[in-house]
Chain A
Amino acid sequence: MSIEVRVQATPLDALAEIAAVSGDDRGVGGVVSFIGLMRDLNQGDEVAAMTLEHYPGMTERALDRIVEEANERWDLLGVRLVHRVGEVRPTEPIVVVVVAAAHRGEAFRACEFIIDFLKTRAPFWKLEQKTDGTQRWVDSRSSDDDAAAGWSTS
């Protein structure tokens, strides 16, 4: 089974990442993907661009660990997790999570688990550049903490 975790400063091709996981493993019955996009509206302000900062070294390890945990919890045949850093423009993908499994249940659950945990455990920080020229650091959301907490440890 193939696991690929990547952080990149260049634009993401979400469809190519999905196609790569679908591949030619004939045991795969279902592929589930999540694409996180940059929105151009946050708290009523127009956002021109966003810069994603990370902690080189720790970020990759945190992502590896999240994917490992998903692979331990569910029977998976492939996982790909790719996250942007650097400057991103509205409607561009920030993150792609793709999971392949024999059956759809595992694929759906593992995909949601990975994005829920990424949002609370992976060291990235978003800095918005607003259309009025000012910058604002995005705040974390309690709904993300709730989503991560919702996954039991059993």
Chain B
Amino acid sequence: MIRVLYFASLRERLGATAETLSDQPETVGVLRSVLAARGDAWKTAFSGDQPVLAAVNQEMANDDTALGDGDEVGFFPPVTGG
């Protein structure tokens, strides 16, 4: 089971703040495909056209980062602080 959080403009485009998935995909890359397969806004967001960054357990991650039971994944646009 993993928890997935969505931030900022991505959250608005998807209409989703957070969810729990009962299985965990092997990697972040696989998770992106699972989400894209939902179609519509999910497909647009996770198709790779716009940059969507990922963090696993609050550390920046890439597509190869493995996922384990209980992990927290965050997806968000490029950051704009400062």
Binding site for B on A (CB under 8 A): 36, 52-55, 57-58, 61, 83, 94-95, 115, 118-127, 137-140, 144
Contact = CB atoms under 8 A, between A and B. Distances in A.
Given A57-B58, A58-B55, A123 B76 contact: yes
B21 interface: no
Nearest to A94: B82
A139 B9 CA distance: 10
A61 B60 CA distance: 11
A121 B60 contact: yes
A124 B82 contact: yes
A122 B81 contact: yes
A122 B81 CA distance: 7
Given A55-B55, A55-B58, A123 B77 contact: no
A58 B77 contact: no
A61 B58 contact: yes
Interface string B64-82: 0000000000101111111
Given A55-B55, A58-B74, A121-B60, A83 B5 contact: no
Given A61-B59, A127-B8, 18 more contacts: A52-B81, A53-B7, A55-B5, A58-B59, A61-B58, A83-B81, A95-B82, A119-B81, A123-B79, A124-B81, A124-B82, A125-B7, A126-B80, A137-B12, A139-B78, A139-B80, A140-B79, A144-B82
